[in-house]
Amino acid sequence: MNEAYVNQNIQNGIATIEFFHPAHNSLPGDLLAKLASTITEAGNNKEVKVVVLKSGGNRTFCAGASFNELMSINDAETGKIFFSGFANVINAMRKCPKFIIGRIQGKTVGGGVGVASATDYCMATKFAAIKLSELNIGIGPFVVGPAVERKLGTSGFSQIAIDANSFYEAEWAKQKGLYNQVYDSVAELDEEVQKFAENLCTYNVEAMKEMKKVFWNGTEDWDELLAQRAVISGRLVLSDFTKETLKRFEK
């Protein structure tokens, strides 16, 4: 697999949305836009009762932002637009009237942690360690922060945001509330995700829609909040510190 994609497959009321990028499932702007629109589309599709969000491959779930795009940002407006991509995905997940099950098969970094945090029920393997690495490059997890903090609490969020060099194991993420279930293998994860999604399809769609509103109560200002956070990240990515740090990642 060398071509990036976002695919949607609908079977028996389950919409499986899968994204992939050859660079460890990092997310450039075009993939973020496609992911957000696909999630919105699934939410509006009357055939869909539940959504499963996954990434391609058996290793990294999501490496976060595309470093190539980060390195190409030369003005604040471009930076804002780029970081708004993650904001749009999180807000699409928040507004989607269907439960979104996260299938996290491996390590996830930065924006990927935000995407996992915006799912309604998150299932992972024991290999799915998490890291918020943004502070390492001179910015911070501003856009994804509200979603991560909502799941991990302020203490857990601040811990991994400050300790930007460390991966935190899947069991830690489960104890903090990000992961609901952790499995020993990808095969077991896939079996349990399918079983769980099929069970949700037997529930009242209207009841699930109303429950989702309850779960996300208090986030109604996130359209504005995450846009403001994107401005902060867009400004910081232009700093000399960040520009110098990103040069280390150039191939």
Give the domain CATH number at 151.
3.90.226.10
Confirm whether 249 is domain-assigned.
no
Mean pLDDT value across residues 188-203: 98
CA distances from 83 to 71, 78, 160, 188, 189 (A): 13, 9, 20, 34, 30
Confirm whether 219 is domain-assigned.
no
Confirm whether 78 is domain-assigned.
yes
Domain span holding position 136: 5-189
Token digits of residue 223: 């359209």
For the entire predicted model, the pTM comes to 0.96
- Examine the pLDDT at 1 and tell me if it is beyond 70: no
106-144 pLDDT per residue, tens: 999 999 999 999 999 999 999 999 999 999 999 999 999
| Count of the separate structural domains present in the chain | 1
Confirm whether 251 is domain-assigned.
no
pLDDT score, position 248 = 80
pLDDT-derived band at 26 (thresholds 50, 70, 90) equals very high
Name residue 211's amino acid.
M
pLDDT score, position 246 = 83
pLDDT score, position 247 = 81
Confirm whether 222 is domain-assigned.
no
Confirm whether 111 is domain-assigned.
yes
Q: How far is CA 167 from the centre of its chain?
A: 16
